[in-house]
Chain A
């Protein structure tokens, strides 16, 4: 089954068309990355899927059902997004508990132990439940943001640069967490990033975007042997290769 199917998707902000004719399929349980530079439209694709960029044409199908242009509670429940900056995406005057229970309330659910369970899943101790974001470190905040997305038990997670605001050692923790969660709950990931090594660790396929279009879709294997065909993907690959100690 396909978890996400985008057919000829174009997204505009006002008169500017940011994404042009993007088609992409993500199978259920798969993990696919959208890579590209700032302004390539990769985050906008995620925003269109969640409903944050409503001015789009083409088709968006989430778990077999086409998505409309209006806010759609059923889609929101199955398909959640984790944002880039945990310093910006959490309300500064809401406790972790309030952030998580609000997501439940919107969908007419009551706590029933969900909050405690989800906090445990993302590796946060129960004592963090009544803290405010400023009392948490960057890594802990991103765990809260992931918990907020997970608490509705979605099948699809849209990850927008989930680790680029974090230190390398913290990035490793969050990447491990995302990998374990996916294996445990059979989640589907669509990950946006500019960091190719992260793709190598977390995904099986990647779509390279430039100027609002997908220029190449390649398996992650291409990151190991460099077998990209489009010149732009090759350029991106060459710029990101990181040898430690062996560099001239």
Chain B
């Protein structure tokens, strides 16, 4: 069943040199599966995620059709859109230090995310927050709920973000570079946690990242973006057999743990029409 369909999505921004298309005719469909969007900086991958949630403000312009559970998102009034954000589609951002409210206790922030969508009394609210912190594997939920964001580590901050995003029970989670601000040893933990929760709840996931190996490991399907366009779409397990020269070049330029190559192949940007 299709959860989200994106048709011919285009995002443009005016600049001194005219309109720039940062997303250029992107189309894809998503069921209850894990989709990875990979690309380098400036490829339009984050803008695609933001456009889905209608988070692009003027002077940026979005055209194309985004359908979420048979509702056309572009046509919805802001009020209905606000109901969808969080309860329908939610988004985990890159760095918990910048996306959590620094002057609000962690537990209150998570409760606020829930209160926006459901009417609950205080006791029920607290119980749900505790369960959610438990689900993101925080050992001492009551203590952590009383902390401020600066008192928690990066890995725990990101788990709190995930708790906040999942507590209204959305059907689709967009994770934009959810682990790039974290240490390698914590990255795996956070991704596995997100993966487990998404599977358990039968949600759809869009994982946006510049890290090819990571996306290949945690997704079912992959879109490779460059210059605002989708260059290649393939199943994650077939990534090594990618056919587009850009994808191949990108894969080859990643150093490997067991690297014995003397020189890493460098992308020849002229091969697919320049940058």
Contacts and interface: CB of A to CB of B under 8 A. Distances in A.
Q: Do A and B come from one complex?
A: yes
Interface of A: 37-38, 138, 167-169, 171-173, 175-176, 179, 194-198, 200-201, 223-224, 235-236, 239-247
A245 B186 CA distance: 22
Contact of B184 (A169, A236, A246): A236
A168 B250 contact: yes
A245 B238 contact: yes
B235 to A, nearest CB: 9
Nearest to A196: B257
Contacts of A197: 254-257, 259
B41 interface: yes
Interface majority SS (helix, strand, loop, mixed), chain A: helix
B266 A200 contact: no
B64 interface: no
B33 interface: no
27 contacts: A37-B184, A167-B40, A169-B249, A169-B250, A169-B253, A172-B253, A172-B264, A172-B267, A176-B266, A196-B184, A197-B256, A200-B257, A200-B258, A200-B259, A201-B255, A223-B257, A224-B257, A224-B258, A239-B188, A242-B257, A244-B251, A245-B238, A245-B240, A246-B237, A247-B216, A247-B236, A247-B237
Contacts of B188: 239
Contacts of B187: 239
Given A236-B185, A244-B216, 16 more contacts: A37-B186, A168-B210, A168-B212, A175-B255, A194-B183, A194-B184, A197-B255, A242-B213, A242-B254, A242-B257, A243-B213, A244-B212, A244-B213, A244-B239, A245-B216, A247-B217
A85 B87 CA distance: 38
Contacts of A169: 40, 249-250, 253, 266-267
Contacts of A196: 184, 257
B185 A244 contact: no
B129 to A, nearest CB: 29
A171 B266 CA distance: 9
Contact of A171 (B185, B239, B253): B253
